[in-house]
Each structure stands twice: as structure tokens, then as C-alpha cells.
């Protein structure tokens, strides 16, 4: 989600510790046609999860563990695969069934990736196994909410918060917490986890805002509706204009490009994007405040700058 140059500058700061992209090859395949990952494509773009693990370790005065970086990236892919599988399950109830999901994009495929992450963490750092399992449990709770929303119930702010915290928020909190796990000051690890949680919420909003600003937004918006992913701009617009909720339900039951475009326009007119950006500012401030116990360093500064770059990247029109 951060600008390409922003990710590259972060990578340069901790480049000696961050595993190269090739180190993740063979661990997994990218989900095909994944509508939830439109902002992290291309082999030249550094991966944010390993960078967070290393930044948290360095900011707390620790060395980074390569296997923890791999475990974090595997968790990310497991989450993405489950997202796609859930979206296709939802779509299958309303469209012609796809009898075969390509390249293992199924619940079984996501579970396999999760087990690989657990094995890596257990072999490298058994002390983080509890944190990893707690994160997986949060993922499962988030997907339970998505399954409920697949029935067409309009999302609320509370739905968005619950999903963000059990999705990207849980993943980023894990990355930051385990990176600093061996810090002499346990509070630093907990505060970095809190930073990751707020960064995850911010990332979640930024993705949704960016999707609604894309010229060709229909595919991504329909995918979110069918998968039951609550979008904060939509939830905010529903509070102001109840007819947005009816359009969302219509999009879930009868997905089409026309319905998606109409919904996106009404969300913007109703102030949904403006309200979401206001929440982005709040989460940005909260993330920076969470770093108060982390010693001043180039790495803490990089974590603070990352928050700003996420917000800026989503505001530009695509």
C-alpha cells in the first residue's frame, strides 16, 4: 500500500536483515486473480510483512530471525487464500458453480500454509508459537464474520472494526510483536504489537478507499461484497444515506459492474470516503502514540513514516 519508493526506502534501511524475494519462492504460490491484493504485485516490490518483523526487531535492539519473516509471509498468504476461497464460496451460491478452484485456492490450501507457518515458528522460536496461534484464531473469527455478511446484511462500523482487527490488524500486530519478542523490556513488544494493530486498521481503510477511487473498481468492489468483507467507507455512507445499504444488499444478491459503479458513486456522494479518511487520521495518530516506549532511532522513525506513507498512498486517485 505505501508508495513504491517508500517501501524501497524502508527496505534499504533494513536491507541487510530482510530476506530477498527469492527466499520466499517455493513456500507458496500467489492466489490467482486475487482481488484482495491489488497493491502488492511485481517481484521488484518489497514485502511489508518481513520488513515489519525486522523493523520491530531493530527498533527494540534485537536481531531479526529469518524464519519469523518466512512465517509472517506464510500467514499473510494463508489469510489471502482463505479470503479468496470464502469469496468464491459466497459467489457460488449466486452464480454458476466453479467445480475446481485453480492452484489449490481452497480452505485446505490455506490450512496447509498455516501449518507451514506454525512449523517454521516452532522450529525457530518456540516462544512465539502462542502468539502465532492467537493470530490464527483471530483470522478464523474474522472469517466467521465475513461468512455472516455474505448473506447481504449491510456492514456497520462495528463490523469493520471487528474485521480489521481480526484481519490485517492481527497480522501486523503479530509481525511487530514477534520481531521484538526477546526485548529486555516486555512493554516494548506489547507497544509494537499495538502499533501493528493500528497500522493494520489504517492499511485496511486505505485499501478500501483506494479501491473506491480506482477507475476500474467494479471487480474489486464486487469481490469484497461477495466475500462479506466490510468496507468502512460503505458503512459510513450507510449511516448517512440508508439507501446505500440497500444497494450493498443488491450487489451481494445480484453482482454486476453497473451496480458496483452506482454504489461507489453514492458512497462518495454520501460522504463515506471523507468519513473514512477522518478515521485514517485517527488511526495514524494512534499508531504513532503506540511507539512512545520504543527508544528513539532510525528504525522508530521509519515506523512512524510508514504510517504516513500508507495514508498518502490511498488518497491519490488511481
**pLDDT tens figures, 49-88:** 888 999 999 999 988 778 788 888 887 887 777 666 665 5
Alpha-carbon gap, residue 219 to 232, rounded angstroms: 18
**pLDDT tens figures, 274-310:** 999 999 999 999 999 999 999 999 999 999 999 988 8
- Residue matched to cell numbers 460503505: 234
> Nine-digit cell at 92?
457460488
Residue 28 — φ and ψ, nearest 5°? -170, 165
Q: What is the pTM of this model?
A: 0.80
Summarize the confidence of residues 5-27 as an average pLDDT.
53
**pLDDT tens figures, 39-48:** 444 444 457 8
Summarize the confidence of residues 144-168 as an average pLDDT.
93
> Nine-digit cell at 264?
461507489
The CATH classification of domain 4-315, taken from the options 1.10.20.10, 3.40.50.620, 1.10.357.10, 1.10.600.10: 1.10.600.10
**Shortest CA distance to 227 belongs to which of 261, 252, 258, 262?**
252
Amino acid at each position: 500500500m505505501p508508495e513504491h519508493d517508500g517501501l524501497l526506502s524502508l527496505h534499504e534501511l533494513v536491507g541487510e536483515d530482510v530476506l530477498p524475494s527469492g527466499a520466499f519462492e517455493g513456500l507458496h504460490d500467489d492466489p490467482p486473480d486475487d482481488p484482495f491484493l491489488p497493491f502488492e504485485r511485481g517481484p521488484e516490490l518489497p514485502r511489508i510483512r518481513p520488513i515489519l518483523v525486522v523493523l520491530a526487531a531493530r527498533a527494540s535492539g534485537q536481531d531479526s530471525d529469518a524464519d519469523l519473516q518466512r512465517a509472517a509471509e506464510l500467514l499473510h498468504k494463508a489469510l489471502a487464500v482463505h479470503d479468496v476461497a470464502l469469496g468464491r464460496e459466497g459467489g457460488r451460491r449466486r452464480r454458476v458453480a466453479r467445480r475446481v478452484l485453480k492452484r489449490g485456492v481452497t480452505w485446505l490450501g490455506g490450512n496447509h500454509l498455516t501449518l507451514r507457518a506454525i512449523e517454521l515458528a516452532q522450529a525457530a522460536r518456540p516462544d512465539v508459537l502462542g502468539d502465532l496461534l492467537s493470530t490464527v484464531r483471530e483470522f478464523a473469527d474474522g472469517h466467521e464474520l465475513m461468512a455472516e455478511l455474505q448473506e447481504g446484511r449491510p456492514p456497520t462500523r462495528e463490523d469493520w472494526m471487528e474485521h480489521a482487527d481480526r484481519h490485517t490488524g492481527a497480522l501486523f500486530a503479530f509481525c511487530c510483536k514477534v520481531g521484538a519478542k526477546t526485548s529486555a523490556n516486555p512493554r516494548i513488544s506489547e507497544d509494537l504489537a499495538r502499533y501493528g494493530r493500528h497500522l493494520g486498521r489504517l492499511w485496511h481503510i486505505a485499501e478500501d478507499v483506494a479501491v473506491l477511487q480506482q477507475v476500474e473498481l467494479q471487480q474489486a468492489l464486487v469481490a469484497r461484497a461477495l466475500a462479506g468483507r466490510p468496507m468502512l467507507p460503505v458503512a459510513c455512507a450507510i449511516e448517512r444515506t440508508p439507501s446505500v445499504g440497500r444497494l450493498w444488499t443488491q450487489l451481494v444478491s445480484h453482482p454486476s459492474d453497473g451496480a458496483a459503479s452506482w454504489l461507489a458513486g453514492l458512497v462518495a456522494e454520501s460522504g463515506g470516503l471523507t468519513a473514512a479518511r477522518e478515521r485514517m487520521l485517527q488511526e495514524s495518530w494512534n499508531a504513532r502514540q503506540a511507539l512512545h516506549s520504543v527508544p528513539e532511532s532510525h528504525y522508530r522513525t521509519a515506523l512512524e513514516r510508514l504510517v504516513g506513507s500508507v495514508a498518502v498512498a490511498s488518497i491519490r486517485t488511481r
